[in-house]
Amino acid sequence: MTTRRQMLTAATLAALAPLIGEAAAKKGAAGGPSTAAGPVPPGALPRRAAVKPPAIRTGDTIGLMIPSSANWDPFDLDVLLEALAALGLKGKLGKHVLDRRGYLAGRDEDRAADFNAMVRDPEVRAIHCIRGGWGAARLLPLIDFDAMARNPKAVIGYSDITALLLSLHARTGVVTFHGPNGASDWNATNVEWLQRVTWRGEAATFENPKEPTGAIVPDENRTRPITPGRARGRLLGGNLTVLTALIGSPYLPDFTDSILFLEDVQEAPYRIDRMLVQLKLAGVLGRVRGVVWGTCSKCGPGEGFGSLTIPDVLDDHVKSLGVPAYHGAMIGHIGRQFTLPVGAEVEIDADRGTLRMLEPAVV
């Protein structure tokens, strides 16, 4: 038999249920919903379906602009235009590529105007950022994401360009490309990967070359497992410093079930440590299925004692995740590098040191 107390308790719980639900919703909105993997990173956008941009073809026009630091050497532009011409492409320079405001390539409004004009220009097939440095994140509130959603185009670059690559994918779903900047070395390796991924639409497997270069065993471009195994997921990442600076902003993609790739340059190990801790505390690291660490050029511990090394830091923050991970992929501030499709589905094989695309990234 139901007692009066039981009836009153049931009635009270029924009355409070909407209030409890509302409080839970507010808590989720304030701190992000929690899962076994940890909280969703603040500001992370819901995952969108990937949108493949058109492939680059012989005769196409490539838009060339600078979203970040000023270009101090006009010869870079001459080499870039000649390199594109040698590949059968036409380069179209933004109006402000020779501007300068301190360390920036002109005013934010003008750099953003160059980018938006190229997104809207039907003649421009893809956009290749000429150089990185710093400044791309300053443009994000000025970017016409709706225009990119209506006119998907391949956007190519690395380092500071990470801010554009991640925000464009997060806001529109368009697959972007972490590869050499326009002012990078147009060597055979860089051209080959750029063409395989953005021209020919291959579902490529990224694997460092293993042939010796003068030594009796290969001593360059070596990979090393951090945690063995294989995993699949959406490829997201880029420059660690730039990615970390986007946390809490409305330009960060959701890293749930992703394969995370990272690189950096001229950072002391304690700074890499600090940034990986931030990714962990923000809920990014706890959500990934695998990690590819590229290079950290000029990131040694320095002379003397008292410093962790990059391998130490990776053991602390990547190996501890228990997901497949490896170190040494040709990603970063190096002369020869891959062109990786940000937002495409891939498979990592940490034992072999490979990253395999599961489908083409362009149409």
Residue numbers annotated as active site: 159, 263, 333
Q: In residues, how long is the chain?
A: 363
Tokens encoding 74: 């006009």
H or E element that contains 13: helix 4-31
In terms of DSSP H, where are the helices of the chain?
A: 4-31, 74-86, 108-120, 145-150, 162-172, 188-194, 240-245, 269-281, 310-317
Helix (H) or strand (E) holding 335: none
Q: Residue 315: exposed, middle, or buried by beta-carbon count in 10 A (0-12, 13-18, 19+)?
A: middle
Distance of CA 232 to the CA centre of its chain: 17
Q: Give the whole-angstrom CA distance, residue 325 versus residue 227.
A: 5
- How many other C-beta atoms can be found within 10 angstroms of the C-beta atom of residue 247? 19
- Name the H helices within 87-219: 108-120, 145-150, 162-172, 188-194
Location of structure tokens 């000023």: 70
How far is C-alpha 219 from the geometric centre of its chain's CA atoms? 28
Strand, coil or helix: 139? helix
Closest CA to 69 of 138, 144, 158, 134: 134
What CA–CA distance (Å, rounded) separates 156 from 181? 7
- CA torsion sign, 22 to 25 to 29 to 31? positive
How far apart are the C-alpha atoms of 124 and 120, rounded to whole Å? 8
Q: How far is Cα 267 from Cα 241, in angstroms, rounded to an integer?
A: 9
Burial of 16 (0-12, 13-18, 19+ CB in 10 A): exposed
What does the alpha-carbon distance between residue 260 and residue 65 come to, in Å, rounded to a whole number? 27
